[in-house]
Structure 1
Amino acid sequence: MFSELDKISEVDENALALYARLWQLEKWLREMVYVELKAKKGRNWFNFNRTKKTYESDKAVTHIPTADDNPLSFTTFTELVKLIQNNWDLFSEYLPPKNIWEVKLDEIIHIRNRVAHFRSGHADDIERLLQLMRDIDNGFWRFCTDYNDLQPILPPDRDAVAKKYIDLDPFSFKEVAPDEWAKVGSAPRELRYIVSIYSLRRRWADRSENIDGTPGYIYDVNVHIRNNKQFDYSKFLAAAKKYKAELIHICLDTFSSTVRVTIPAIFGSDKVSEIIDGLINIVENSMTLHRPINSDDQAVQKLSEEWPEYVLGPKNPLTFLGPDMPCSFFNVIKSS
C-alpha cells in the first residue's frame, strides 16, 4: 500500500527533510522559551495580546480543532527570535555567543521563508540548518537534562513547601550524620500515595538557599499512587486544567502510577502550597483500581497529545532525559 507521499511524484525528498528539521528546531525553541520565561516570570510570562487575534481565529475553526493552547504556538518565528534576543540572559547558557547566533538565525529565517513560500532552495540549505542544530545540540541537551536534575531541599524545614509535605514522603532525605543525608524510611501499608517535593534550578538563576519566590527555581512535585491503584489520567487532567496558568508542565508516566508537576517558585510558598493542596485533592478523586497494562503501550502518550502543550507524555525527553544520559539531542550526524 502506498502512502500519500508516494503518490506525489514531484515532492522533493530534500525539501521534506528540510521542513522536518525546521519543524524540530522551531518546536524545541518554543519549548525552551516557554520554560525559561515561565520560570522567571510565572503567570505573567507572556503578553497574550501579541497572539490573541491569531489564537482566537484558530479556535473559531471548530470543525478542525487542535490541542494547541500555548500562546507561543501562535507566534511567528520572527517574534519567537525577538523573545530570545530580548531575554538573552535566559538562553546564553544553551546557545552560541549572541553575535554568532544572530548571524546563523538570519540565514535560517531566509531558508525557512523559502520553504514556507514554496520557493526553490539552495543546495546548501539543509547542511546550513543541520550545522546550526549541531552547534546547539549540546545546549538543548543541557536545557532538557537540567529539567530532570532534581535536587532535594535540605534540610526540608528551611523551605515552607518542603516542610509542609514532608510527612507525605516516608522515604524523604534524613540526616544520618552531621551534614550527611540519605533517603531512608518505610511506608505504612495504608498510605495510598507518596508526595515528594524537589527543586530545579535554571542555569541563569542566581544560586540561593531561599527557593521561595526566587526567579529561576522550580518546585518539582511528584505524586506516586500505591496499594494496587493507578491514576485515571483523563479525570485528573480534566480537574487539574484550572491550574494550567500556574503550572509549567504535568508529566505522565507509561504505567499511570505517577504524576509529576512543575511549578515556578516565583509564585511564593503560599500560592505553591495552595496549588499542591488542590492537586492532592484531585489525586484523591482520580484514583482507580490497577488494571493490567494495556496491550497498547502508547495509550498514555496518545492521551497526552490530546491535551495542550503543558501536558507531557512519557516519550517527551523533558519527562525522562537526565544528566546521566549523554546523547545527541537532535541526532544530527555530521556528513562524512
Structure 2
Amino acid sequence: MLSDSERLLYLFGMSNQMAEHELDRVETEFGIDLKRGHVGSIAADQIYYPQIEQELREEAAYMAPQYEMFYSIEKTIRTLVRDVLEEEKGEGWWSTDTIPDNIRSECEHRMQREIDTGTTVRSADPLDFSTFGELGKIIESNWNLFGGQFKSKKAVERVMANLNTLRGPIAHCSPLAEDEVVRLQLSIRDWFRLMD
C-alpha cells in the first residue's frame, strides 16, 4: 500500500503536469516562449517533418500534453496495481487467482506476439501488456485488496470508465475537444481524490 507521503507525491506530480499543460497552452495561444527548457520536438527532424502538413503538426503539438497526462496516469495506476498485488500476494502474484484467467491469457498472448516480431520487447512484466480497461477489471476483481486504497468502489469504476473513454482519442490520434481536455484533468484529480 502507498503511504500518505507517496500518495501526496503522486498528486503533486500530476498537478505539476496539469500546470505545465496550461503553460503549454498559453505559449501556443499567444505565440510566446516562456523559456521553460522543453526538450526539442520532432520539428528538429528537418528531413521528414517538413513533409507533414502544418495543420497536422499543430494538432500533434496540441495533443502532446494530453498524451503525456494520460501516459502518466496510466503508468501510475499500473504501478499501484503491481505494488498492491505484490505486497498482498508476494512476487508470484501474476500466477495466482488475483488475475482473471481471460486477462492473464490475453496479456501473455500479447507478450508472445511481441516477442515473435523480433523487435525489442517493451517489458518482461505481463502486467505491462494489459489494456487500461483490464487494469480496471483487475482492481474490481480484487476489491478486497484495493478497497483500503480508495473511498468508494463505484467511484473508482466511474473514474476508470471516464479515463478509458478519454483514452480512445488520445491513443488513436484524434484531437480532444477543449471540454474533454478539462474532463481529462478533472478525472485525474478525481482519481487522486479517491485516494485521500
**TM-score normalised by structure 2 residue count:** 0.61
Please state whether the residue corresponding to 2:90 is helix, strand or coil. helix
Instruction: Please give the residue correspondences for 1:3-82 in structure 2 after superposition, counting only pairs within 5 Å.
Output: 3-5=41-43, 7=49, 9=54, 10-11=56-57, 12=59, 13-47=61-95, 48-62=104-118, 64-66=119-121, 68-82=123-137
Which structure has more relative contact order (CA 8 Å, sep 6+)? It is: 2
Please state whether the residue corresponding to 1:101 is helix, strand or coil. helix
Please state whether the residue corresponding to 2:169 is helix, strand or coil. helix
Change (3 A) 1:66 1:110: same
Matched, 1:123 2:171: no
**TM-score normalised by structure 1 residue count:** 0.37
Give the Cα separation in 2 of the matches to 1:73 and 1:59. 14
Identity over aligned residues, as a percent?
24
Change (3 A) 1:3 1:106: closer
CA displacement at 1:109 relative to structure 2: 1.1
Residue identity opposite 1:56 in structure 2: Q
- Residues 93-144 of structure 1 deviation map (CA, whole Å, 9 limit, x = unaligned): 433422122222222111101222233423222222222222333677x8xx
CA displacement at 1:50 relative to structure 2: 3.7
Give the Cα separation in 2 of the matches to 1:53 and 1:23. 23
Cα root mean square deviation, aligned = 2.5
Change (3 A) 1:5 1:46: farther
Give yes or no for contact 1:94–1:136 (8 Å, CA) kept in 2.
no
Give yes or no for contact 1:93–1:139 (8 Å, CA) kept in 2.
no
Change (3 A) 1:5 1:96: farther
Question: What 5-or-longer segments of structure 2 have no aligned partner?
Answer: 1-39, 96-103
Instruction: Please give the residue correspondences for 1:122-161 in structure 2 after superposition, counting only pairs within 5 Å.
Output: 122-137=177-192
Please state whether the residue corresponding to 1:40 is helix, strand or coil. helix
Which is strand-richer, 1 or 2? 1
Which is helix-richer, 1 or 2? 2
Matched with 2:139 is 84
